[in-house]
């Protein structure tokens, strides 16, 4: 075996290099060029492009080649659709946030910041309602929903309470601020 196979490298070898009696090898098969491919079925075997497990050792690889897709991280549209259509939930959120940033830059800060918060809240709702949201899925469903939801809610509340002339006044916050400043 080549030296990098013990570190999770490529699992192909020529017939003279293959070790058929290796106990970690589940199957050895030769393709048309006489190259033997060893396959392992263990808990950490990562599939190759054709979906077959390709690890020849139980050691973790030196370099990670792939990661698991997050729950709900599949396509939001069929594979035949163009790339932007498959990622429409992410584009909705990013478009709303970009519009909010543009409105904020055009000197309507409260409306712009509200749009940013609403965009994040929409991301939380899309992550909750849809089974597949494409690249909007970053972590587990619970983590994504709570992160988008809390950040969106905080941004919306701060935009509503921003001075001057806040649209939302919370009396105990005003009293708390006055009592901390006057002491």
What pairing do the DSSP bridges indicate for beta strands 27-30 and 12-14?
unpaired
Percent of the chain beyond pLDDT 70?
56
Q: How many domains does the chain have?
A: 2
60-96 b/e (C-beta count within 10 Å ≥ 16 → b): eeeeeeeeeebbbbeebbeeeeeeeebbbbbbbbeeb
Across all residues in the chain, what is the average pLDDT? 74
Tens digits of per-residue pLDDT, 12-55?
Answer: 444 444 444 444 445 555 555 666 555 555 555 566 677 766 65
Q: What is the pLDDT of residue 29?
A: 57
Q: Are residues 37 and 115 in the same domain?
A: no
List, in order, residues 6 or more apart from 110 with CB less than 8 Å away: 159, 160, 162, 167
DSSP code of residue 46? P
**SS3 per-residue string spanning 98-145:** HHHHHHHHCCCHHHHHHHHHHHHHHHHHHHHHCCCCHHHCCCCHHHHH
Is pLDDT above 60 for 99? yes
Per-residue model confidence as pLDDT tens digits over 146-175: 999 999 999 999 999 888 888 888 777 777
Do 92 and 63 sit in the same domain of this protein? Answer: no
What's the mean pLDDT in 70-86? 73
Q: What predicted TM-score, i.e. pTM, was given to this entire model?
A: 0.58
Residue 78 located in a structural domain: no
Whether residue 89 is found in the same domain as residue 61 = no
Q: Identify the CA nearest to 17 among candidates 28, 8, 32, 26.
A: 28
Same domain, 172 and 91: yes
115-127 average pLDDT score: 96
Q: Are residues 163 and 107 in the same domain?
A: yes
Domain contains 72: no
pLDDT of res. 11: 45
Q: Is there a single domain that holds both residue 106 and residue 157?
A: yes
Which carries the bigger pLDDT value, residue 161 or residue 98? 98
Range of the domain at 119: 83-182
- Backbone φ and ψ of 181, nearest 5°: -80, -35
């Amino acid at each position: 075996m080549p030296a990098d196979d013990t570190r999770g490298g490529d699992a192909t070898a020529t017939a003279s290099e293959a070790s058929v009696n290796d106990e970690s090898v589940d199957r050895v098969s030769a393709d048309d060029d006489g190259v033997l491919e060893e396959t392992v079925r263990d808990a950490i075997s990562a599939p190759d492009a054709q979906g077959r497990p390709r690890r020849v050792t139980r050691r973790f690889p030196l370099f990670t080649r792939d990661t698991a897709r997050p729950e709900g991280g599949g396509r939001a549209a069929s594979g035949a659709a163009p790339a932007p259509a498959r990622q429409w939930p992410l584009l909705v959120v990013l478009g709303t946030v970009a519009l909010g940033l543009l409105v904020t830059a055009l000197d309507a800060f409260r409306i712009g910041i509200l749009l940013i918060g609403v965009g994040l809240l929409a991301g939380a709702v899309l992550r909750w309602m849809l089974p597949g949201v494409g690249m909007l899925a970053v972590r587990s469903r619970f983590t994504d929903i709570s992160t988008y939801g809390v950040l969106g809610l905080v941004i919306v509340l701060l935009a509503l309470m921003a001075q001057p002339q806040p649209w939302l006044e919370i009396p105990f916050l005003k009293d708390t601020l006055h009592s901390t400043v006057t002491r």
